[in-house]
Amino acid sequence: MAQTAILGAGVMGETLLSGLLRAGRPVADLLVGEKRGERARELTERYGVAVVSNLEAARQADTVAIVVKPQDMADLLAEISPELRPGQLVVSLAAGITTAYIEARVPAGVAVVRAMPNTPALVDEGMAAIAPGSHCDDVHLAEAESLMASTGRVLRVPEKQMDAVTAISGSGPAYIFFVVESMIEAGVHLGLPRATSTDLVVQTVVGSAKMLRETGTHPVVLREQVTSPGGTTAAALRELEIHKVRAAFLAAMEAARDRSQALSGE
């Protein structure tokens, strides 16, 4: 099978690496480029993967997945560009970095795909979106799709939607964990032992997510089923409305979208 290089093996790079291995990619078909020596050794010990220089990885691989922070993207592209060649595929998982930004920094004819995964990919429940750049054919897009599909679902979207995707599903797990953390803390305030509160909240979130996916019922309907007239849920939801939680979610996701848009310009 074709070689795939992962450049930048932090949280998301390791998530992609481990997902590809779980999905059955032979470790011999994978290469990692990672700046921090200690981290590189850790990955070789954990997965038996070869860690090589970025240049060597770019030279050997047919597909190069770039998983460094957006702020490190320009330096990395400048480093590997001499080894990139037309027909090769670069998949960027970096927030905010446009395909045009990458295409301007690599040789003409290199295919570029912008991808936005999320961390539930670690448990094969990821949600990723991909968007093609201007020299990307169907074969390249299918390869990027198969890369991301190793850890969950993948949607193809137009690139103009990618900043919104980043705000919703890319950052999304953090919002859910924030809600979970807040509910656990509330349980403790109500007198529950922390372990009991954690069990109650985690299973409630898992069960609610499963209902959403398996019934396909609109969340408003599911919420109404929980909300008895004059009952406990109505009392709680009224407080959430008074505290403008819905408006806060909208403002939060607009801020994430705006931050994503700004990253290509930095």
Ligand X SMILES: NC(=O)C1=CN([C@@H]2O[C@H](COP(=O)(O)OP(=O)(O)OC[C@H]3O[C@@H](n4cnc5c(N)ncnc54)[C@H](O)[C@@H]3O)[C@@H](O)[C@H]2O)C=CC1
CB of 202 to ligand X, least distance (A): 19
Residue nearest to ligand X (CB): 10
Per CB under 6 A, residues contacting ligand A1CAB are 95, 166, 170-171
Helix (H, G, I), strand (E, B) or coil at 132: strand
7 binding partner (options ligand A1CAB, ligand X, none; Cβ < 5 to 8 Å by kind): ligand X
Nearer CB in complex with ligand A1CAB: 152/170: 170
List, in order, residues 6 or more apart from 115 with CB less than 8 Å away.
Answer: 91, 92, 93, 128, 129, 130, 131, 144, 147, 148
CB of 66 to ligand X, least distance (A): 8
The CA distance from 79 to 17, in Å, is 22
Going by the DSSP 8-state scheme, the letter that residue 86 receives in this structure is T
- The structure tokens 């979106």 sit at 129
The CA distance from 105 to 174, in Å, is 32
Residue nearest to ligand A1CAB (CB): 170
Question: How many positions of this chain bind ligand X (CB under 6 A)?
Answer: 28
Asked whether the beta carbons of 9 and 63 are under 8 A apart, the reply is no
Per rule CB under 6 A, is residue 67 in the interface with ligand X?
yes
Task: Among 112, 113, 117, 132, indicate the residue that binds ligand X (CB under 6 A).
Answer: 117
Task: Among 25, 35, 153, 259, indicate the residue that binds ligand X (CB under 6 A).
Answer: 35
Per rule CB under 6 A, is residue 54 in the interface with ligand X?
yes
35 binding partner (options ligand A1CAB, ligand X, none; Cβ < 5 to 8 Å by kind): ligand X
> How big is the chain, counted in residues?
266
Nearer CB in complex with ligand A1CAB: 151/166: 166
In the sheet with 126-132, reading across from the earlier edge strand, the strands are 50-51, 30-33, 4-7, 63-66, 89-92, 111-116, 126-132, 152-156
Q: Determine the interface stretch with ligand X among 42-50, 71-79, 101-109, 216-224 (rule: CB under 6 A).
A: 71-79
Phi, psi of 24, deg, nearest 5: 105, 5
Nearer CB in complex with ligand X: 94/187: 94
Helix (H, G, I), strand (E, B) or coil at 242: helix
Nearer CB in complex with ligand A1CAB: 12/51: 12
Task: Among 68, 136, 141, 168, indicate the residue that binds ligand X (CB under 6 A).
Answer: 68
The CA distance from 127 to 172, in Å, is 10
* Contact residues for ligand X, defined by CB under 6 A: 7-13, 33-36, 39, 54, 67-70, 72, 75-76, 93-95, 116-119, 170
